[in-house]
Structure 1
C-alpha cells in the first residue's frame, strides 16, 4: 500500500497497525515469539474501523437525519484526500464536522484524513472546528496518534500546532513518543524529541502500563537510528520492564548489531538478568543471535564472554602511528629480500610476511583504535594506505639521494633539480591533506535553531533525511555527504581517500588534485633518472668482466639495473607501477572537474544510468512523508527549488542493491586504484553510457552542476576572493565555506539552491 492509496478495512474489519505488544507481558523466552503475530485479546488492528464496511452496514448515522450514504461519501473523500467533495458535503450542511462519526467507535473524518496523510483535508476540517483531540476506535486514540502510528510527521506537526494534546494516551497506554517509535520513521521520532520531549512535555523514558519505554520498543524493532536518537536525548539504557527485560535484552532478541552497539556503548549491561534469570548471552543462545551479540561486543572492545579485551596499545594515536609506519618496514624488507634472494624463494616469504602483518594489525592494533558510532575499524579505514604511499616515497628518496644522484647529476642535472623541487612539495601536500579539514559543516546543538530549521523544512515539504542530517541536526547543503570517518557532514564531498586517510571535499580538493599531479611528475622523473642510473652501471659490468643475462628483460639498461643495482631496480619498478594508477586517478579527477561533478556525484550518476529495466525502489529511502497537498500549496517553491532538487534526485537516486560496493578482491583493487572510475570516464567520454531509458548519451552534460567546462574549470581552481592576487586564488584552497559555483560566489554550508545556468 502506498501513501497515495487510502487506508481501508481488511477482511476482519481491521486496519493494519504496529503490534501493541501485550504479549510481551510473559517473561519467558517462549512467550516472546507471539509478539511477531500479535495478541488476540488486544489487537491494535481493531482500533481503526472505516465506514462502509459490511460489518458496520447496519449502524445508525450520528448526523441527524442524513442518510448513511452521505456520511460514507464524506469518509471516503477524507480517505482519498478529495477536498472538493469534503467541502461540498460540509457546506451543504448534510454532515456536521463536530458529529461526523459513528456512534460506536467515533471514527471521524479527521481520523481518516490523518491516517492517510491528507494535509489539505486535515487543514480544512480543523479550520471548520473539528475536534483535534477526539478519541476513536477500540483503543480510543486521537487523530494525532493515528497519524503518528504511520510516521506522518507533517500531520503530527499540523495537529500539534492547532491544539492537539501530546500528553494523551490510548487504551493500551501508548503516548505520542511510543507511537512515533513504533512507526520507525526517524524523522517523526526526531520531531517529537525536539518539539515535545525537549520541552519537557513527555519524558523520554515514559513507560507504558507494562513498563516499556520508547528505547525498549526501538531496540526490539531493531531500529538503530531511533535507538541512537533516544540515547542522545538521555534515554536510560538499563531501565527494565515488568518482566525485567532491558532494551539490551530486547535488542539481543532481535539481533540487530547496530542496536546492540549503541546500547553497549552507552552503558548497557549484558550481564543484567531478567526476572527469570536470563542474561543477554542465554537469550542470544536461545534465539540464535549469538553472532550479532559477539560482533557488537567485539566492536565495543569486549571478548565473546563480555570481558574487556586487553589492548596492546593504550593510546589510539599510538596505534595509528604503528599502522602508518608498518608499510615502511614491509616495503624495505620486501625490496631487500627480492634483491638478495631468488624471486621463487623471496615471493612466498613476502606473502607470508604480509599475511602475518595483516593479521597482527587486525587482531592487535586495530582494536586499540577509539571507535565512535557503529562504523567498524578496518585496514581500509586506517592509516595503512597512507603509510604505503609515504613509505614508497621514503625508499624512493633514499635510493635517489644515495644511489642515483651521484651517477646522474652531471648528465641529468635539470631532472634532478626538478625532482628536488617537486618531491618536498609532494611530501608537504600529503601532510597537509592528512591533517586538513575537508569542509566539515559545523553540527548544531542549539535546540531553538534546530526547531526553526525543522519548521522551515516542514513548510516547504523537505523534512526528510536527504535534506536534514539526522547525525548533525543541520539542514543538509546540496552536494554534501555525511562522513563516518570524521563523524561530520562534509561540504562538496568528493570521496574518501585511503591514501591520505582523509575525506576530500570543499577545502582540500584543490590540494589533493595538485598533490597527485606533482606526485605523477615526481614518479616519472624518478623512473627516468633510475634508467639513466642503470645506464651508468655499464662501467660496473665492464669491471666485473661478466655479461648480465636476463631472460625476460630485453632492455639493456633494465637488465643492467636488475643485475647490478637490484634494490634500486625494484624500487623503480614499484614507483613505475604506482605512477600507472595515479595517472588513472588524475584522468578521472580532471574529467570530473571539467564536467562540474564530484567523484561521489559521478559514481552515483553512472550507477543510476545502469538502472534501465530494473524494478523501482520499493522503500522510502529518505523517510519522506510530505503530503501531495503541501507541494501544491507551495507551488512556487516546487517550480524553483524543488525542480533543482528533483534534477539532482533523478540523476543520483539508486536502489540499495546498486549502491552496494563490490567486496571481491578485484573490485577492491579497482576501487583503490581508481580503475573503475577510469573505465566509467572512458564510457562517458565516448558516449557509451546509457540513460535510464536505454539511450546512449552523455549523462553529465545535463547534470545540474555542469555550467560548461570553462566555468567549471574556473570554479574549481579560483577561490571566490576576487581581491586576492591571481596566483593566490589559483594555488590556495578555500579557507571558508565560500567558493565559486556557476561563476558566482556561494556558501557551500548553506547551499540549498543552485545558481541558474546562463544560456547564450
Structure 2
C-alpha cells in the first residue's frame, strides 16, 4: 500500500470481493487499498472486524465496535491505526467520527512511517486532505522517506493538492531530508511537461541546490534525461553557471548525456544568453518589433521593384525574388526572437496597408476626375489605422488577480469541490469566469474570449471585440476602394479590353502595363478576401447566435462527437438578434433596447443570464 500498511485481504462473510487497484508510486509500494465507495452488500456485517468495516466504510459497525470499547488510537500489528485506513479509503465520515473519539490526527504508522495525511495525498484524495487539515493535521511532518506533504503531492503529481497546500501556506521551496525541493523532485521524476509547468507558476527557486550533490533542478533534469523539464527550466531562466559538488555545470552534464537534442537545447540557450551581453544585440532586441515592421516594408517594396524591372527575363526576376525571401528569412532568424516572431503577420498587414495607401493616393487617385473615390479612400484608411490601434492597445479582458486573491480562490474552490480544469486555470492560477479561455500566445486568461488574432497579434475578447469588428470593416472598405481605383487606372492606361481580347490577353497586358499596380492589386485582393470572410462570420455569430468564434467551434465539435443534437442557437447567450446587437455594442438604439451590462471578467454562473433570457422571451 502506498500508505505503508496492508490492505484488506479477507472479506466479510458473503460479501463480494471489491475491485482493487495498484498504487505503485515512485517508492514501489505493492499493496493496494480498498477503493472508496458505498458499503458492500454483506449477509452479516456484524462479524466484520473494525479494520475491515473501516476500509469498506460500514459506519454503523464501526460505531458499534467503538462504543463497545475499541480504542480508536490502537494500532494494528503493523502499527497502522483506524484513522490511516479511513484516510486512504476516503471515508470522511469515519475520519470525523474517529477524531471526535480521540484519534491522533498526526499519528505515524505503516512501513513508511506516514501520517493519515500522507496516505490521503498519495491516493490523491483532495477532499480528505482538506478535512484532515481542518482537523489540525500538520503538512510539514515528514514520513519515513523524508518527504513532507508537498513533496508527496509533487511526486504523485496531484496538481489540485499541490495548489491547495500552497494556498494554505506551504513553502514551495520546502526541502526533504536530502535538501531537495519539490521542483528538484519533479525535474528528476516527472513524466511530461505539465507538472513542471504547473509548479513553475508558483515561482519556486530555480537555482536552489540540494544538500548532498549540490545539484540545481536543471542539474537533476539533465541527469534524469527529462527533456521537457530542461526546456521549461531554461525558458524560466535557470542558471547555466552553477557547479555541483563535482564541479559540473548543467552544460557539462549535457555533454555527458546520450540525448543529443538535450545537448542542443542547452548549447542554444547558452549561445542566446551570451548574445544578450552584446550592446548592439541588446538594442536590436529592444526594437525588434520596429525592425520587423521596417524589414517588412522594405521587402514588399523590393518585391514590387523587382517585378517592375524592365528586364524580360523572368528567370532573373525569379532569382532576385528568391534572394529577397532568403535574406528576409535570415534576418528574422538572426534578429527576431521567438517572442516577437508572432508579430510577423501583423508587420505584413501594416506594410501592405502602407503601400496600398501610397499606391492609391499617388498612382490611382490623380487620374480620378471627381472626389467620389478620394473621400471614401481617405476615410477608410484613417478608420482602419484608428481601429487597428484601438484593437491593439485596448485590454481584451485579461483576468487579473493578486497573489492573495489567487490563494483564496484556490482554497475556496478546493473546499467547494470545484478545483478542476473546468473552473480553474492551472496556468494563471485563477478561477475561470464564464466564456473565458486561456490564450497560450498571451499566457493569460481572456474574458469572453473570441480568438487570438493572427493579424493583430493580440487576443480578441470582451474589451476589444467591437474595435476588431470595425477594423475588419474598414480594412474591407480600404481594399475595395483600391480595387475600384485599380480598375479605373487600367481602363485609362492599358491598351486592352477584357471583352475584346479575352481573359488571358487582358491579364498579361495589364500585368505588363504596370507590374507594381498589379502586384498591389493582388495584395489588396488577399486582404479583402480574408477580411470580408472574417467580418461575415463575426456578424453571423454575434447577431444570430450570440456566440464567440471559440464557442461556436466548440459547439460544432460537440455536435460531431455527441449522439444528441447540439443547437448553436439554443444557448444562454442568444437573446435574439436585436438584443444580441444591443448587448455587443452596448447601445440602446435610441431607447428601443436596454443592453445588458455583464462584467465577464467576474461572471461565474448562468443564473441571472438565464433569468434575463426568460424576461426577453416573454
| TM-score where L is the length of structure 2 | 0.83
1:418 matched to 2:376: yes
CA-to-partner distance for each residue in 1:203-243, whole Å, 9 max, x for gaps?
54433233322221122134664566468455362312413
In the alignment, which of 47, 56, 66 is matched to residue 77 of structure 1?
Answer: 56
CA-to-partner distance for each residue in 1:587-607, whole Å, 9 max, x for gaps?
221222131221222223333
In the alignment, which of 272, 275, 281 is matched to residue 251 of structure 2?
Answer: 281
User: Residues of 2 paired with 1:210 and 1:95: CA distance?
Assistant: 46
User: Residues of 1 paired with 2:363 and 2:200: CA distance?
Assistant: 62
CA-CA distance at 1:333 after TM superposition: 1.1
CA-CA distance at 1:112 after TM superposition: 3.4
Q: Which residue of 2 aligns with 1:320?
A: 289
- Assess, with a 3 A threshold, how the Cα gap between structure 1 residues 568 and 706 changes in structure 2: closer, same or farther: same
- Assess, with a 3 A threshold, how the Cα gap between structure 1 residues 259 and 574 changes in structure 2: closer, same or farther: same
User: Residues of 2 paired with 1:428 and 1:465: CA distance?
Assistant: 38
Q: Which residue of 1 aligns with 2:475?
A: 519
* 3-state SS of paired residue (1:489): strand
Q: Which residue of 2 aligns with 1:751?
A: 603
Once the two structures are overlaid, the 10-residue window that deviates more, 117-126 or 389-398, is 117-126
Q: Which residue of 1 aligns with 2:584?
A: 716
Q: Which residue of 2 aligns with 1:686?
A: none
In the alignment, which of 26, 29, 32 is matched to residue 19 of structure 1?
Answer: 26
User: Residues of 1 paired with 2:49 and 2:509: CA distance?
Assistant: 99
* 3-state SS of paired residue (1:499): coil
In the alignment, which of 322, 329, 336 is matched to residue 351 of structure 1?
Answer: 322
- Assess, with a 3 A threshold, how the Cα gap between structure 1 residues 219 and 397 changes in structure 2: closer, same or farther: same
CA-CA distance at 1:268 after TM superposition: 3.5
Q: Which residue of 2 aligns with 1:395?
A: 355
CA-to-partner distance for each residue in 1:168-207, whole Å, 9 max, x for gaps?
221111111211211212222122122132xxxxx54433
CA-CA distance at 1:266 after TM superposition: 5.9
8 Å contact kept, 1:184–1:226: no
- Assess, with a 3 A threshold, how the Cα gap between structure 1 residues 586 and 453 changes in structure 2: closer, same or farther: same
8 Å contact kept, 2:546–2:580: yes
User: Residues of 1 paired with 2:47 and 2:244: CA distance?
Assistant: 53
- Assess, with a 3 A threshold, how the Cα gap between structure 1 residues 409 and 270 changes in structure 2: closer, same or farther: same
Q: Which residue of 2 aligns with 1:439?
A: 397
- Assess, with a 3 A threshold, how the Cα gap between structure 1 residues 106 and 277 changes in structure 2: closer, same or farther: same
CA-CA distance at 1:334 after TM superposition: 1.1
User: Residues of 2 paired with 1:45 and 1:106: CA distance?
Assistant: 18
- Assess, with a 3 A threshold, how the Cα gap between structure 1 residues 467 and 175 changes in structure 2: closer, same or farther: same
8 Å contact kept, 1:400–1:526: yes
8 Å contact kept, 2:51–2:82: no
Q: Which residue of 2 aligns with 1:112?
A: 85
1:248 matched to 2:218: yes
CA-to-partner distance for each residue in 1:620-644, whole Å, 9 max, x for gaps?
xxxxxxxxxxxxxxxxxxxxxxxxx
CA-CA distance at 1:339 after TM superposition: 2.2
User: Residues of 2 paired with 1:284 and 1:438: CA distance?
Assistant: 42
CA-CA distance at 1:157 after TM superposition: 1.7
Q: Which residue of 1 aligns with 2:137?
A: 164
Q: CA RMSD in A?
A: 3.7
CA-to-partner distance for each residue in 1:639-675, whole Å, 9 max, x for gaps?
xxxxxxxxxxxxxxxxxxxxxxxxxxxxxxxxxxxxx
User: Residues of 2 paired with 1:535 and 1:227: CA distance?
Assistant: 61
CA-CA distance at 1:338 after TM superposition: 1.5
In the alignment, which of 175, 185, 190 is matched to residue 217 of structure 1?
Answer: 185
Q: How does 1:679-694 map to 2 (within 5 A)?
A: 692-693=562-563
* 3-state SS of paired residue (1:281): helix
User: Residues of 1 paired with 2:435 and 2:201: CA distance?
Assistant: 29
User: Residues of 2 paired with 1:91 and 1:97: CA distance?
Assistant: 9
Structure 1: gaps spanning 5 or more residues? 1-5, 21-42, 52-65, 79-84, 198-202, 368-375, 613-691, 731-739
CA-CA distance at 1:387 after TM superposition: 1.4
8 Å contact kept, 1:520–1:582: yes
- Assess, with a 3 A threshold, how the Cα gap between structure 1 residues 230 and 327 changes in structure 2: closer, same or farther: closer
CA-CA distance at 1:361 after TM superposition: 0.4
CA-to-partner distance for each residue in 1:85-111, whole Å, 9 max, x for gaps?
323441465776743866222434433
CA-CA distance at 1:69 after TM superposition: 2.9
* 3-state SS of paired residue (1:482): strand
8 Å contact kept, 2:546–2:574: yes
User: Residues of 2 paired with 1:120 and 1:702: CA distance?
Assistant: 42
Q: Which residue of 2 aligns with 1:599?
A: 549
Q: How does 1:34-49 map to 2 (within 5 A)?
A: 43-45=28-30
- Assess, with a 3 A threshold, how the Cα gap between structure 1 residues 50 and 277 changes in structure 2: closer, same or farther: farther
CA-CA distance at 1:531 after TM superposition: 0.2
Q: Which residue of 2 aligns with 1:659?
A: none
CA-CA distance at 1:530 after TM superposition: 1.0
Q: Which residue of 2 aligns with 1:81?
A: none
- Assess, with a 3 A threshold, how the Cα gap between structure 1 residues 240 and 451 changes in structure 2: closer, same or farther: closer
| TM-score where L is the length of structure 1 | 0.69
In the alignment, which of 288, 303, 310 is matched to residue 334 of structure 1?
Answer: 303
- Assess, with a 3 A threshold, how the Cα gap between structure 1 residues 320 and 208 changes in structure 2: closer, same or farther: same
Q: Which residue of 2 aligns with 1:553?
A: 504
User: Residues of 2 paired with 1:478 and 1:110: CA distance?
Assistant: 40
Q: Which residue of 1 aligns with 2:38?
A: none
Q: How does 1:356-755 map to 2 (within 5 A)?
A: 356-362=327-333, 364-367=334-337, 376-377=338-339, 379=341, 381=342, 383-410=343-370, 413-445=371-403, 447=404, 449-537=405-493, 541=495, 553-555=504-506, 561-593=510-542, 594-610=544-560, 612=561, 692-693=562-563, 697=565, 699-718=567-586, 744-754=596-606, 755=609
8 Å contact kept, 1:700–1:706: no
8 Å contact kept, 1:491–1:749: yes
- Assess, with a 3 A threshold, how the Cα gap between structure 1 residues 386 and 264 changes in structure 2: closer, same or farther: closer
Q: Which residue of 2 aligns with 1:149?
A: 122
* 3-state SS of paired residue (2:219): helix
8 Å contact kept, 1:257–1:296: no
CA-CA distance at 1:513 after TM superposition: 0.8
Number of aligned positions between the proteins: 583
